[in-house]
Chain A
Amino acid sequence: MYGNAYIEPDSELAAKMAASREEDPEKLAEFEARIARGEKIEPDDWMPAEYRRQLLRMIEQHAHSEIIGALPEGTWITRAPTLRRKLALIAKVQDEVGHGHLLYSAAETLGKSREAMINDLISGKSKYSNIFNYPAKTWADIAVIGFLVDAGAIVNQLANAKGSYGPYCRALERICYEESFHLKQGYDAFVALAVGTPVQREMLQDALNRWWFPPMMHFFGPPDTISVHTEKLMRWKVKMASNEEMRQDFIEQYVPKIWELGMTLPDPALRKDEATGVWEYTQPDWDEFFRVINGDGLCNKERLAVRRYAEENGRWVREALMNPIQKRMVPYA
């Protein structure tokens, strides 16, 4: 009745999960009924092993994406062209680190330690969003990332915030609030370039050309085939919207804002079918999608090397304050 769940070594947890693969039908029915009623699942609730595994994988990857996402934008921290942009960019990258923190905390409630998650990130075992494997070549990339990539993130995160797992929803609520600042500061920097000098407009157009397909591909992924598996994840409110729904939502909201400024996107087929309200677009290069996922993107190696370097560099600080009698527990929320 009173809980004090200490963290177990991950291999043991995995074994336990495998053992409970055969779910108790009564508990499963109760669990699904709770979700159907719109109630949230809390960390100490009974949950199917498959639900725990999928959520953990998803939240952990999301957390990794935030801290890896701090790197492409970090590229321009020391070079932001005004004091206000400098402050905004530091604050934005700081928020992304903060999002990583909030999401790791949510993932920890599912029974995996933050150390184990970071180890899986730097060993390459665990994935993160491939959008961050593209380089930020000029200052205009920062404007486009802040605007378009954060816009894509918002579409995704707003959907997930309505999911079934309490700690993830709570984290996303705060994250979405901060993302709206990211989007707005990105849009502001974007507009500054779009209404600026010819040199600025040219920079912006170049960045747009490079940054249009990455979010279209990596945020939303290939159109999903509705398998039994995705059907179950949607019933459990782990997956909240189909890839194509979210992609359409993204295009609908942001493409007009880009065109309004006289900027172009590198897809001649992009247009809205006014009769159906559906956007048509050229299918992104899905071969590239899988190449980048499998580690062959422009910056995969560097991103992981930098993360490893940061962890190694900070090790002596963490070790200096380690206390052998500490008993770590799975946080309640």
Chain B
Amino acid sequence: MTESLDPRIRRADLEASPASSGLKQNEHWETYAIFHQDKRGAAHEFVGIVHAPDPELALVFAKEQFGRRKKTVNLWAVRSSDIYTFQHEDDDMFSTVPDKNYREASGYPVRKRINKYLFDQKEEEASKA
């Protein structure tokens, strides 16, 4: 191999380093899901995962990977295996939600009926006169 152009690598003595035997399963520890809050009053939002051996280091790692650019006031780290979730294939459980307008303010168009009532009253008065 020709000499590296990187002085950091020239100092590292690549030849002397032991031959790689490969990484073991779990050598990158567990994963933690990271939730990011950009300002007080805002909800924490999932932004990604970090590999960490414990929750403290997960937060310390998350601070730089997910807080070094965005405005941040707080982070949560949650062990990925502690998250329970539905499967996306079951999203039909939610599919009739938009139909249920009895839950929505927009499902109660009272103005229409008031206007009709006012109109009828006016008609009645006009016919009396």
Binding site for B on A (CB under 8 A): 1-4, 9, 42, 44-46, 71, 74-75, 77-79, 98, 101-102, 105, 108, 113-116, 118-119, 122-123, 135-137, 170-171, 178, 301-302, 305-306, 308-309, 311-313, 315, 318-319, 321-324, 326-329, 331-333
Contact = CB atoms under 8 A, between A and B. Distances in A.
A313 B80 contact: no
A114 B28 contact: yes
Given A79-B7, A302-B1, A322-B29, A119 B14 contact: no
A105 B49 contact: yes
Contacts of B85: 2-3, 44, 332
Contact of A46 (B27, B48, B51, B89): B89
A117 B29 CA distance: 15
Contacts of A323: 26, 29-30, 53
A195 B28 CA distance: 47
Given A44-B87, A115-B26, A312-B17, A329 B31 contact: yes
Nearest to A115: B23
A305 B24 contact: no
B5 A114 contact: no
Nearest to A138: B5
A311 B20 contact: yes
B69 interface: yes
B98 interface: no
Contact of B81 (A2, A74, A119, A329): A329
Given A2-B85, A333-B46, A328 B12 contact: no
Closest 5 interchain pairs by CB? A321-B53, A75-B6, A115-B23, A308-B20, A309-B17
B5 A136 contact: yes
Contact of A122 (B5, B8, B20, B25): B20
A302 B3 CA distance: 9
Contact of B14 (A116, A118, A309): A309
A45 B88 CA distance: 6
Contacts of A77: 8
A108 B6 CA distance: 31
Contact of A329 (B14, B53, B69, B80): B80
